[in-house]
Structure 1
Amino acid sequence: MKQDMEREGRFPSPRAVEVLAPPAVRSPLIFASPHSGREYPGELLKNSRLDRHSLRQSEDSYVDLLFDEAPHFGAPLLRALFPRAYVDVNRSRDELDPRMFADDVPKTSDSRSSRVIAGLGVIPRIVADGQDIYGRKLYYLDARGRLAACYDPYHRTLRGLIDESRGRFGCAILIDCHSMPSAGGAPFRAGEPRIDFVLGDRFGSSCAPSIIRFVEDVLTGMGYQVARNAPYAGGYVASSYGRPRSGVHALQIEINRALYLDERRIARTEGFEPLRRNMISLMERLTAFDSDDLRLPQAAE
């Protein structure tokens, strides 16, 4: 069953996000893919100095397809349909880069954020390989429209899924699914193996230790090399939603694209299906995870 959010603002698709929902929710798990959107608005293609292929360098390409069996195990999958180069929902809504705009941005904007300074704010200035997206300045009205059309529906939907899970199960476990360039999985020291997965829990603050330990054990048991919090500790979603003391746990998973993607062509390789089968196995194992100790105590009646 698919539950679509209706369009807001000027995004040209009839929907900006999609939830692949199970017939019956049987788990406090929520899977999310915020950066795998492949529907490129004509507005972006028209105003960008880059072609579609260059813009796609910022995608977590096909990550949503690695996890699209989540509903089979009683858990929803939330995915953004718009591209990360258009709006990055793994940023604060205030992370706007004033250098991008011909007019003023709100005084509340977090223009000193390290991500904004790097050109990777909520409205990105560059793609992943460092190329400027635009040949001219935008207007703040452009940003405001994008945030209303894409950012707000994504986070509204995510909050709704989390609230529903907490109400039903006493806790929510968000698995925020990403991919990293193969260069990001390079060994820390010469002679060490390539890193296949990076698990980020904001250095222990965004989810219970038992969750990251469980996922790490499953992945290493499959033969993968797994790192924690380096070089990716989790972004805005993990830091904002991960509140273990409130029963909300957020774990970011970064998958090395070398496992499944030809990064130059942005095409799936023969490694995609074996990886997908392993992610299905991971989801199956996760939905059997004993979350009793994560539940909030129920108020006395």
Structure 2
Amino acid sequence: MSRQHSNQLSYGPATSTPRFLLHEASRIHACRPRRNISHLHTKLSGACMTNPPTATKTQPSQDQMAMIIGIPHSGRNIDDAALMGCGHWTRAEHAQFADPYLDVLTESLKPMADGLVVQHTSRSLVDTNRCPGDQANDGPCHCDGELHKNAIGLGLMPKRVSTTRLLERHEHEMASRRALFLHSQYHEKMAYEVQKHTNKQILILELHSMPGRSGRELGWCVGNRFGASSAPWMLELVMGAIAKQYPREHVAANSPFAGLYSAWLHGKPEQDVHFLQLEANRQLIGTTPEDVQRHQEKIANILAHIKKEGPRRSPKFNREETPSKGH
């Protein structure tokens, strides 16, 4: 999404068309019912009240926030590679598309997560963070081409492994159908997790890693599509939580990665559904299971801090209310 403004916050050191794709708007983004506080309004019956009630602040709790974790790009299953037109690639070439081994964090994230959505199919086969229409065969598009990257080899069925190298891929109809099915599985699961918690504030954190050349001097990048997929206060909260655990690392907002299709689809801050794309520099988090596992405690602490502070920071829950007489 091209925008002239940005939240440049930073912290320095210290079927062919799946059912879901046809109905996603009505299934994912149902409006939350308004909280009924009419019983809190004071009723005056002519005479002035000699002792008006004292305003009290609601007491937010962690139960008011649902945290959903997505890990879309760490899968290693390439069983469908031949069907999807890339069976002739080497295993090493398939691995070049991945955010390596972030899925080993799954068990350590479970205590804090109200939902976990992990894509086990390799990103080399299908990139779930792309519009379904972002392909040579022109699948069902929902973004009017705004988010498409297939022209540079980074579409729904990616081909580019470096800035100068495109792999040969056969993007036939059967490959497209399978890609759409796998893509819909991930987003249906994400939508299901959101739907389970529509009575709460929802934060979706999608975990990615970025190559060192993209991250430059950054430790982390947090993207909210320049305010379109989460409220600014949520972005600040998450960046602060990361900076607390990684005080020597620079944490940036929306550059070099602001979030793409998943953030565009699922982030609805006006409905209290916030989506943030978290990118860890691979030079920091590592590229082997052992490297990534060393960050389990810090990442768990980040999530715990967010879940504790989220309801407290939320304008929706953290406000003053005046009780009615007799309460």
For the aligned pair, the TM-score class normalised by the smaller chain equals 0.7 to 0.9
Q: Is the 8 A contact 1:96 1:111 kept in 2?
A: no
| Partner residue in 2 for 1:275 | 295
Q: Is the 8 A contact 2:131 2:141 kept in 1?
A: no
Q: Flag the 1:41–1:218 CA change in 2: closer, same or farther, 3 A.
A: same
In structure 1, which of residues 81, 101, 117 is the aligned counterpart of residue 151 of structure 2?
A: 117
Query: Does residue 1:213 correspond to 2:236, yes or no?
Result: yes
In structure 2, which of residues 188, 194, 199 is the aligned counterpart of residue 156 of structure 1?
A: 188
Identity of aligned pairs, percent?
Answer: 24
| Partner residue in 2 for 1:94 | 133
Q: Is the 8 A contact 2:67 2:115 kept in 1?
A: yes
Structure 1 stretches of 4+ with a deviation exceeding 6 A read: 109-112
How much has 1:114 moved relative to structure 2?
Answer: 4.6
**Distance in 1, Cα, partners of 2:234 & 2:147:** 29
Task: Extract unaligned runs of 5+ from structure 2.
Answer: 1-14, 17-61, 318-327
How much has 1:81 moved relative to structure 2?
Answer: 0.5
Query: Does residue 1:236 correspond to 2:261, yes or no?
Result: yes
| Partner residue in 1 for 2:274 | 249
How much has 1:250 moved relative to structure 2?
Answer: 0.4
Q: Is the 8 A contact 1:48 1:133 kept in 2?
A: no
| Partner residue in 2 for 1:141 | 174
What is the aligned length? 252
Q: TM-score, normalised by structure 1?
A: 0.75
| Partner residue in 1 for 2:227 | 204
CA RMSD of aligned residues (A): 2.7
Once the two structures are superposed, residues 237-285 of structure 1 have per-residue CA deviations (whole angstroms, 9 ceiling, x without a partner) of 11221111112110110000111324xxxx345x434322210111121
SS at match of 1:28: strand
Q: Which runs of structure 2 are paired with 1:279-298 in the superposition (5 Å)?
A: 279-291=299-311, 293=314
Q: Is the 8 A contact 2:132 2:140 kept in 1?
A: no
Query: Does residue 1:41 correspond to 2:79, yes or no?
Result: yes
SS at match of 1:166: coil
SS at match of 1:198: strand
Task: Extract unaligned runs of 5+ from structure 1.
Answer: 1-7, 10-24, 99-104, 187-193, 297-301
Q: Is the 8 A contact 1:58 1:128 kept in 2?
A: no
How much has 1:164 moved relative to structure 2?
Answer: 1.0
Q: Is the 8 A contact 2:86 2:125 kept in 1?
A: no
Q: Which runs of structure 2 are paired with 1:65-84 in the superposition (5 Å)?
A: 65-84=104-123
Query: Does residue 1:54 correspond to 2:93, yes or no?
Result: yes
SS at match of 2:276: strand
Q: TM-score, normalised by structure 2?
A: 0.69
Q: Is the 8 A contact 2:239 2:251 kept in 1?
A: yes
Q: Flag the 1:106–1:182 CA change in 2: closer, same or farther, 3 A.
A: closer
Query: Does residue 1:32 correspond to 2:64, yes or no?
Result: no
Amino acid at match of 2:104: L
